[in-house]
Amino acid sequence: MQSPWRALFDANAKSRPYLNAELDALLSMLRQAAGAGHGRERQAELAQTLSGLALPAWLIGEIISDHNDLIYHCAIERALDQMRADGWGEPPVGFCVIVMGSGGRHESLLAPDQDNGLILGSYPMHRHNEVDTWFRTFAELFTEYLDQSGIPFCRGDVMASRPLWRKPVNEWQTQMRLWMAGRRVKQVQQCNILFDFAPVYGDVALVEPVREAIFHSVPTAGLFLNEMAELLDEVPVALDRLDRLQGDGREAPHPRAINLKRQGLLPMTAALRLLALVYGCREVATRERLFWLERTGVLKPRQGQALAAVFERLVKLLLEAQTERSLKGARPDNWIDPEQLSALEREQLRFDLKAVRSLVRKAGQSTSVVSSGARGNSRTKQAPPRRSDLSIQSRPPS
């Protein structure tokens, strides 16, 4: 059941949790600011206020993501209005704007960028220039408005303004089948971004055929899944060979710094993405995937809950660091300094990263399920019982 806190930015919500005057005023400002093309700069204040109400960090991340969705909605509406004003008229076919990655999982924190795409309704090929020109112009507008609103352009060009991420639904389906038929690294990397997607505006019925094409392709995607498994090793967790905390040093602001997103959260979400594909889990959010995998026997009893607690602690550490930087006027990033943690917090982080590493190893071994034919129909929502041989403890050793 979705938390009532998720209704904070839903204009159609019938009920919301009780709000104190301070939070109510802040939310009102954020809603109005989204409509005016700004407001994301106050999200750190929102995170601090919600944390003071003892909300868990994962839920605060979902609420921040809801606010980002509102910003998307306003930017898209603004772009549609501009298209009409410029004489382009109404959209020539139905469409759905999707968000991918952490936005698609509703796990955005305070340093997002744009990962979005467009799924268009099908149309005859002789209309391609007309239809694509309309949506290219539309996508350039709303991605520009998003950038102005504080959700910056994607440095990797994963945006609906680029042809690769803007196409009719039938071409998306074909693209999924082609990409998943081989093991080209670039295509696997692109799929890792795409697979965690969710609709944010438009005709949501266009989403399911694309998701169905992905899961329908899994039984014959052994090479593709093997490449996904190999890519898990490219970004190890922030531990050295002796299980001591250690960052990879890439673009680090100082020698002790750890990029907790790249060397903590991303390995976890990547492992769960692979497990979700292999076992037919249609959930997108990290916690929901964990609970599904435990419920269907892929993880042992309570392992999903234990890993959800690991996820919460990692998100909390990163969100606190981002909030502190933002409230001091600095740009939030994904770095933490272990020396700023207590000895107990460092030991807990070390334990949590070991749990993530165990999960990554399990995911890397899971592709044999597809190649051996042990996996059931990918289009079903129930996975065969298959329990982990890897123990993931629920608490650190004393």
Look at residue 10 in the predicted model and tell me its pLDDT: 81
- Whether 395 has a pLDDT exceeding 60, the answer reads no
Look at residue 371 in the predicted model and tell me its pLDDT: 60
Q: Do 4-220 and 245-371 agree at the fold level?
A: no
Residue with the larger pLDDT of the pair 366 and 21: 366
- Whether 177 has a pLDDT exceeding 90, the answer reads yes
Q: Parse the chain into domains and list their residue ranges.
A: 4-220, 245-371
Is it true that domain 245-371 has CATH number 2.40.30.20?
A: no
pLDDT, mean of residues 147-151: 95
Q: Please give the DSSP secondary-structure letter assigned to residue 228.
A: H
Look at residue 179 in the predicted model and tell me its pLDDT: 96
- Whether 382 has a pLDDT exceeding 50, the answer reads no
Q: Residue by residue, what is the 3-state secondary structure of 90-154?
A: CCCCCEEEEEECCCCCCCCCCCCCCCEEEEECCCCHHHHHHHHHHHHHHHHHHHHHHHHCCCCCC
Share of the chain above pLDDT 70, in %: 91
CATH of region 4-220, choose from 3.30.460.10, 3.40.1280.10, 3.40.630.10, 3.40.50.720: 3.30.460.10
d(CA 297, CA 293): 6
- Helix 169-179 vs helix 185-194: crossing angle, to nearest 10: 130
Look at residue 22 in the predicted model and tell me its pLDDT: 82
Q: What are the pLDDT digits (tens) for 339-359?
A: 999 999 999 999 999 999 999
